[in-house]
Structure 1
């Protein structure tokens, strides 16, 4: 049976250029509701964008993935860890999931990386 996902919201589908124009109109004196009705953009989308833009120091606010903010390792460290695990698997030292979590915790600890408190408490990555 084929599954066809239908998106239920239209969040993040508004181009940034339109959001910038909407913010300019709000700054010129119109209300967020008026601009939202005229440009057919949800008023909360405009408000969220304005809040992000206000909280950031740069002029350009943008959408970010939340997972990137919670990552513990940078890309090179993560690649190094993955390569080590793959090497172990290639030498027939297959590592189960729990051992992989423990190895990740040890790697973070030896490299003095900030990690969540649950990692330290459980002595393994979450």
Structure 2
């Protein structure tokens, strides 16, 4: 009989809006990190990490999910450079099929 997979982590389950609301409450001084995290059901270390990233300007609201963003290998700049390089190679007729560009 086939087994059913059960997820063991809760990565990426908290909506970005909830985290932003909790972070703004902490920044305005309305609540402590612990209180805001407990009220919104967010891990307090995750909330603290989000607040620090927001202060440094590293938080983006792009189409990537939280887990996919955390496990990304290439930065945006590196992706743009790679795309430009692949376009250059295509213009020079190196014949790179889409499968090899993945």
Q: Same fold (TM over 0.5)?
A: yes
Q: TM-score range by the shorter chain?
A: 0.5 to 0.7
RMSD, aligned α-carbons: 3.2
- 1:10 corresponds to which residue? 10
Structure 1: 5+ residue stretches without partners: 87-99, 101-126
Q: TM-score scaled to structure 2, two decimals? A: 0.60
Q: TM-score scaled to structure 1, two decimals? A: 0.51
1:67 counterpart = 2:84: no
Q: Which has the higher contact order (CA 8 A, sep 6+)?
A: 2
User: Structure 2 matches for 1:1-126, cutoff 5 A?
Assistant: 4-29=4-29, 30-56=31-57, 61-62=59-60, 64=69, 66-69=72-75, 71=78, 73-78=81-86, 84-86=95-97
Map Cα deviations across residues 8-66 of structure 1 (whole Å, 9 max, x no partner): 22122211111111011111322111111111111112111111111117xxx235352
Structure 2: 5+ residue stretches without partners: 61-65
User: How many residues are treated as equivalent by the alignment?
Assistant: 84
Larger radius of gyration: 1
**Residues 23 and 46 in structure 1, CA contact (< 8 A), matched pair in contact too:** yes
Runs of 4+ residues over 6 Å off in structure 1? none
Looking at structure 1, the residues matched to 10 and 89 of structure 2 have their Cα atoms a distance apart, in angstroms, of 38
SS at match of 1:67: coil
